[in-house]
């Protein structure tokens, strides 16, 4: 029983216990003795009530049973795209109608393509692109854009994989929202981080928006790019540029831009938050300098 629980976030199910010879009467005794702790009907934590990380997600999937996957908000949290939500755990089940369970929000689909199914931390979960699609059913456009941007940062999705997920579920009710998001990709608005989103909002407000974002320049992806002005602005996000390796990589990238004849400005997260007016003034001056 302990070995089984170790492999699945400290959890076991009544069916699994029966398969190793533990009777229902014995399960009752183990609960009374404090060795098993019910999480859902037929799902137990073994040994203590202290739930390991992500065990509530695993418990919900185990409780629903075969063809069940973590999905929607909870899948987004498991992939690291959004903060872990409070309340019921979102679980999608394929091709059947399971009984309702307290603490679980059930979503039923008739079919999921293999590309829509994945596993993370030992938990069956909707694939990242499908997760973004499902999130869009209830989340705001801003939340979806941030989640999609984070997925791109983590290398979990591309625009192509998101389009593929939409094609696999042509009747999905979130498709219009994602189509609108992707239609703005060349405005540009489909940026990679919260820091870049904030920067883009500042630039648009000042009417000095770039020609493009996240564009390939001399072998590197530039955050903000003004083609005629030959100007590049890079944003050091508050989470993604903290290591020495990242620092050195950024300077190598800047050197490649300069060698290709571009001017480079760097903006930090602290400047964006504490000195937004100064950031706008600096970029505006750089844009005007080349066009004057």
DSSP 6-28: HTTTTEEEHHHHHHTT--HHHHH
Q: How confident is the model at residue 240 (pLDDT cuts 50, 70, 90)?
A: very low
Q: How far apart are CA 111 and CA 282, in angstroms?
A: 53
- pLDDT higher than 90, residue 4: no
Mean pLDDT to the nearest integer, 240-267: 78
Write the Ramachandran bin of 23: left for phi over 0, alpha for psi from -120 to 50, otherwise beta.
Answer: beta
User: Which residues is 168 bridged to in the sheet?
Assistant: none
Q: How confident is the model at residue 184 (pLDDT cuts 50, 70, 90)?
A: low
* 52, 46 Cβ separation under 8 angstroms: no
Segment 201-238, tens digit of pLDDT? 899 999 998 988 888 888 888 899 999 999 999 987 54
Q: Considering the entire predicted model, what is its pTM?
A: 0.61
Q: How far apart are CA 111 and CA 172, in angstroms?
A: 12
- pLDDT higher than 50, residue 61: yes
- pLDDT higher than 70, residue 192: no
Q: Show the domains of the chain with their CATH numbers.
A: 2-46 (no CATH), 55-183 (no CATH), 194-291 (3.40.960.10)
Mean pLDDT to the nearest integer, 22-32: 88
Rounded (to 5) percent helix, strand, coil in the chain: 45, 20, 35
């Amino acid at each position: 029983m302990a070995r089984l629980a170790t492999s699945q976030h400290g959890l076991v199910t009544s069916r699994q216990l029966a398969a190793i010879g533990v009777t229902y009467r014995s399960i009752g005794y183990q609960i009374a003795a404090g060795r098993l702790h019910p999480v859902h009907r037929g799902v137990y934590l073994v040994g203590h009530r202290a739930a390991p990380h992500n065990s509530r997600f695993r418990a919900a999937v185990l409780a629903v049973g075969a063809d069940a996957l973590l999905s929607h908000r909870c899948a987004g949290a498991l992939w690291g795209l959004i903060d872990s939500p409070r309340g019921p755990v979102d679980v999608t089940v394929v091709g059947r109608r399971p009984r309702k369970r307290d603490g679980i929000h059930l979503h039923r689909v008739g079919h999921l393509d293999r590309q829509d199914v994945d596993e993370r931390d030992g938990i069956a979960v909707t694939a990242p692109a499908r997760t973004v699609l499902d999130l869009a059913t209830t989340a705001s456009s801003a939340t979806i854009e941030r989640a999609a941007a984070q997925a791109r940062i983590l290398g979990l999705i591309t625009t192509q994989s998101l389009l593929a997920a939409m094609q696999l579920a042509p009747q999905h009710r979130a498709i219009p929202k994602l189509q609108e998001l992707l239609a703005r990709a060349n405005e540009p608005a489909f940026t990679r981080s919260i820091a870049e989103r904030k920067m883009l909002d500042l630039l648009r407000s000042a009417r000095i928006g770039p020609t493009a974002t996240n564009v390939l320049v001399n072998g590197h992806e530039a955050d903000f790019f003004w083609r005629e002005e030959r100007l590049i602005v890079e944003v050091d996000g508050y989470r993604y540029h903290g290591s020495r390796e990242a620092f050195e990589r950024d300077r190598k990238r800047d050197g490649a831009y300069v060698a290709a004849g571009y001017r480079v400005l760097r903006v930090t997260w602290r400047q964006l938050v504490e000195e937004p007016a100064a950031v706008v003034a600096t970029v505006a001056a750089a844009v005007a300098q080349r066009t004057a």
